[in-house]
Each structure stands twice: as C-alpha cells, then as structure tokens.
Amino acid sequence: MYLPKFTLESPKSIEEAVVLLGSGEGTKLLSGGTDLFPRMKYKLCSPEVLISLKGLPSATPQIDEDGKLIIDAKMSLTTITLSYEIREKAPLLALAAQKVATREIRNMGTLGGNICQETRCLYLNQTHTFQFTEPCLKRGGKECYFAPKGKKCWATFMSDIAPALFCLDARVIIADSNGEREIKIEDVYTNDSLKPLSLKPDQIITKIIVPETQGLSGSGFAKFTVRETIEFAVVNVGVFLEAEKDLKTCKQVRISVGAIFGGPQRALEAEDWLAGKSLSQENINTVSQKVARSLKIISHHGYSKSYLTECLKTQSRQALNDAVKGLTDQSNKEG
C-alpha cells in the first residue's frame, strides 16, 4: 500500500498552521501521522496538503499558579509516560498512554492526534477492494455494511487517552482564526460515529489542562484486548476515585469508557451510586455491573453486545480495584 501524493507544509508557528489549514479544501493537520497515514493508505481520506506540526517544539508540562497541569498537545505519548509532572499530577493519563499500541507508535503518536483520531470499524479500515465493492456510509455511500441494511454508521472511537481525560475533568485549548478558547474535553466529541469530532477543519488543539486534585485519590485504567499485543481496545475503562480520610469510603468517582461507542462515555449513573458508599468489594462488584448495564454498546470488530457487556463489567472492576489500591494523599505531594 502506498501513500497518495500530497504536499507537505511545515509552518513555523501554530498561528501559521491555522492560516494554512483554513486556506482551502483538502488540507489536513498532521501530528505523528500514526492514525492519518494508515487512513490515507486505505484511501479513507485523501488530503492534497498536509500541515505538519512536527517541526514545532513541544513544551514540557507546566503547573500554573492554581496547580493546574498544562500539557502541550504535540507531546509524544512516550514522553507522557515518562514525564515526572504527569506521573505525579495525573497518573491516570500516564497509565492510559502506556497502554497505547507499541513503543514505536507511542514515540511518533501525540496527545492531540490521539484525542482527534477517527472512528474505526472492521469493514471501514480496509482497502476498498479487499472486503467489499460498495462504499459504506463513512466513505460517502448509502449504507452501513457492517450492520446489514444499516442506515447509521457503527464505527467506534477507540482512543485510550480520551476516557482518561474525561475522568480527569480535563479541558482543551483550541486555536483557530479567532484566537484561542478553552472547552471541556467532553465537548470535543459528538458521539456520532460518522463525524466523531466537533472541531472545524481549521481548529487545532494546542494544550490540555488537567485541574489540580486535593486529598486522597487513586487511579485505575483497564484495557482489554484479545491478543494482548499491538491492538486497539475491545473495551477500555478509566477510573479516578476520591476517598474520605478513612480510605474506605468513596467521596466521588469518575468512570469513563471507550471503544464501544462513537465517543467516550461517562458512567454517570454508576458514579452517583458509589459516591458516599463504602469501597467494599461487594460495592465495587455492584458498581461494575451498573457501568456495564447503563452504557450504550455498539457490537464492534466481531464482538457481540453480550460479550462486550461482560468485558465491560470485568474491566470496570479491575480499574476500580486498582484505583482503590492506589489511593494516595495528593495534598502531601509537592507541586
């Protein structure tokens, strides 16, 4: 498989990149290329001009005067796993980054690119002639061939990083021709498999901001894959848990799930149920069942809905147990 021909632009600043992106149809932003290049090879998209951020330096993570962690979206996933500031202030993000693909892909792949990756499907992510002759909805056709006679796209959003950022209540800075603005990470997603991102073509995510956490907290990230090698998630679950001083009671919890729908999902019903309750194994088992029962599940990559429900239950339990085991006092940590 070959890459189609394209022109590469290497802007000297984000402002220049925004101008180039907005300069016409057929331009596309390039970070590490680990999501975009395979899609171009499969002819899922054919941009004529790529605006590369590769030449722009990535700032090291900063902690501002309010204790917020500010991370450059150009940061590679490997650097995220190794960053002292991220491991201390947002260990869940480092845990999730560690689970992405392989070291080689994490060296190339960036935080911004991971958040903005496209939805995937067994039918879609193939060369056009390999499995089928008719284009599906996401290739501009009239039907979803994964779900026979499907009138809706059933591709799933498989980022490992996005659910972790949902749990951390992260915000993102977006640059465009009007300057910069800050939005919640949840607002980056539409939950529509056909067009999973709310961003406009000339918008660039420049920074990710993680608010400071106080008190006792623990993180867990569980990713289930069948082959346990280089593989996208069957399901992934992130947990950020805050406990009372007794270490046995849940103050509040954020649980977020990826890979089973057109966008990451918060398990709000399960979160509400656990808040204020004991962190006993019995309650963790109950809340894991609630996560599995309350979320929308698309049967994907040949996994049935009942199989995915069961996976979701076990992975939620794993992530919650890891979060309880890892409870540490954030107030004692230096900024």
Of residues 174-213, which lie at the interface with ligand FAD (CB under 6 A)? 199, 204-205
Residue nearest to ligand FAD (CB): 113
Residues in contact with ligand FAD, counted by CB under 6 A, come to a total of 32
CB of 162 vs ligand FAD, minimal distance in Å:
8
CB of 54 vs ligand FAD, minimal distance in Å:
9
Question: Strand runs (DSSP E) across the chain, as ranges?
Answer: 7-9, 27-30, 49-52, 62-63, 69-72, 171-176, 179-184, 204-210, 216-224, 235-243, 250-258, 265-266, 328-329
Under the criterion CB under 6 A, does residue 27 sit at the interface with ligand FAD?
no
C-beta of residue 113 within 8 angstroms of C-beta of residue 188: no
C-beta of residue 121 within 8 angstroms of C-beta of residue 155: yes
Instruction: Specify the residue, 59 or 247, whose C-beta has the smaller distance to ligand FAD.
Output: 59
**Binding segment for ligand FAD among 30-38, 176-184, 241-249, 325-333 (CB under 6 A)?**
30-38
Under the criterion CB under 6 A, does residue 83 sit at the interface with ligand FAD?
no
| Rounded Cα–Cα distance for residues 109 and 101 (Å) | 10
CB of 327 vs ligand FAD, minimal distance in Å:
27
Q: What are the angstrom distances between the C-alpha of 267 and each of 110, 228, 258, 287? A: 26, 25, 11, 10
Instruction: Specify the residue, 160 or 242, whose C-beta has the smaller distance to ligand FAD.
Output: 160
Work out the angle at residue 14's Cα, subtended by the Cα atoms of residues 12 and 18, and round it to the nearest 5 degrees: 110
Of residues 157-176, which lie at the interface with ligand FAD (CB under 6 A)? 158-161
C-beta of residue 164 within 8 angstroms of C-beta of residue 256: yes
Under the criterion CB under 6 A, does residue 117 sit at the interface with ligand FAD?
yes
Q: Residue from 49, 63, 70, 108 that binds ligand FAD (CB under 6 A)?
A: 108
C-beta of residue 299 within 8 angstroms of C-beta of residue 308: yes
**DSSP-assigned letter for residue 57:** P
Of residues 232-291, which lie at the interface with ligand FAD (CB under 6 A)? 232
Interaction site with ligand FAD (CB under 6 A) = 28-36, 38, 73, 77, 100-101, 105, 108-110, 112-114, 116-117, 158-161, 199, 204-205, 230, 232
